[in-house]
A = this chain, B = another copy of it.
């Protein structure tokens, strides 16, 4: 019932904004390219007859009115920002699948009971501004507005400043009633493709803990400074990278533990590094195991500090417990998948999604489609058109069920 070609064409059109040489996308949150992506979405949504509102965190809502405007909207959405070396589907797919739902309803002159809205959430990736999903987090009351607007990038520019600069500092207050929220997304992992399933019925998302660590030693000359008296912050950081990896392996099979970002100071070839900043990302679907992993991380760090050569500042900057999605919404996704006859399996999300925060304020469900080789956060990220269509079809079915309930 949805128009798969139209959805695909819109995805490819959006992918031109920030396109990279390797076929990916670099459209960091609140850059000029993000603005261009937002402007294109807003234009398309207006062309589809929607009214547009923007809240103080720059979240965009495109609304198609229902028979009963006083009902809380059934909402879908995702994000348009990308990783520095991101792909054409992560986030964008959920936004444009939502738009395709609206366009399909228009084609059919279909009037839903509740209004239907497509949301574009600001800075989901957490790459330019940490943490991830900060704007859906403010929407859901997990963070307050000041916290959200004051998140700064590595050059010290805040989300508040950058929202104003690109013209997306909206006037709507944060948060509003949502009847149900669905988010379609690529899996970003290898399970569905490996098992040849078209749809992942997402029952949970794993929990996450993010840390920032600064290790401080002493800068000294790489030539005349004897090895035994060195206080090499990079050596400490290197040991932590291995410790974090070990924590991931030791809590197999589902644990993930990653050091993704590292800055070395002064970063000069013949200077023993005096300071290293790095981040740690720990994930597990079981909150108790996630806490144990955090303990293991602190223990590994303390072991290095106990040697007396380095000092550390360490802060947990992001935590959310594993998220169970709403039973009725999961059932709606399951029903729509069955009605369309798509192969499927239940799945736990390894990534965080705006849906994880929406789940705090609305019944929420998610739909996964496979991606090639399970690769995401990579320019080669790819998906087959039939998967893209299938996920959107399921999204339409689930939303209609709830919008007419």
**Does the CB pair B268–A218 fall under 8 Å?**
no
Give this chain's copy count: 2
**Does the CB pair A271–B219 fall under 8 Å?**
no
Render A306-348 as a binary contact track against B, CB cut-off 8 A, 1 for contact: 0000000000000000000000000000000000000000000
| A259 CA to B125 CA, complexed, in Å | 31
**Does the CB pair A221–B350 fall under 8 Å?**
yes
A222 within 8 A of B: yes
Nearest CB of B to A116, in Å: 29
> What total of chain A residues lie within 8 Å of the partner, measured CB to CB?
74
| A216 CA to B377 CA, complexed, in Å | 15
**Does the CB pair A266–B219 fall under 8 Å?**
no
**Does the CB pair A261–B255 fall under 8 Å?**
no
A305 within 8 A of B: no
**Does the CB pair B260–A268 fall under 8 Å?**
yes
Render A357-389 as a binary contact track against B, CB cut-off 8 A, 1 for contact: 000000000000000001111110000000000
**Does the CB pair A245–B227 fall under 8 Å?**
yes
Which residues of chain B are within 8 angstroms of A232 by Cβ–Cβ distance? 245, 258
Name A222's closest neighbour in chain B (CB-CB).
Answer: B258
The answer to whether A256 and B268 touch (CB under 8 A), given A221-B351, A262-B234, A377-B221, is no
| A258 CA to B223 CA, complexed, in Å | 9
Render A185-224 as a binary contact track against B, CB cut-off 8 A, 1 for contact: 0011110000000000000001010100000001111111
Main secondary structure of the interface of A (DSSP, over half): loop
| A61 CA to B264 CA, complexed, in Å | 36
Nearest CB of B to A366, in Å: 13
Name A251's closest neighbour in chain B (CB-CB).
Answer: B227
Which residues of chain B are within 8 angstroms of A263 by Cβ–Cβ distance? 267
**Does the CB pair B256–A260 fall under 8 Å?**
no
- Interface residues of chain A, those whose CB is within 8 Å of chain B, are 83-85, 125-127, 130, 132, 187-190, 206, 208, 210, 218-229, 232, 234-235, 237-239, 241-242, 245, 248-249, 252-274, 279, 281, 283, 349-352, 374-379
Name 14 interchain pairs, CB-CB below 8 A, sorted by A: A84-B268, A125-B270, A187-B224, A188-B223, A222-B377, A223-B281, A223-B349, A225-B374, A227-B245, A227-B255, A242-B242, A260-B269, A263-B267, A272-B377
- For the complex of A and B, 4 pairs with smallest distance between CB atoms: A224-B350, A189-B224, A238-B241, A222-B258
10 more A-B residue pairs beyond the given contacts A83-B268, A189-B223, A189-B224, with a C-beta to C-beta distance below 8 A: A127-B266, A127-B271, A132-B270, A219-B379, A221-B351, A225-B350, A227-B248, A258-B270, A260-B271, A262-B264
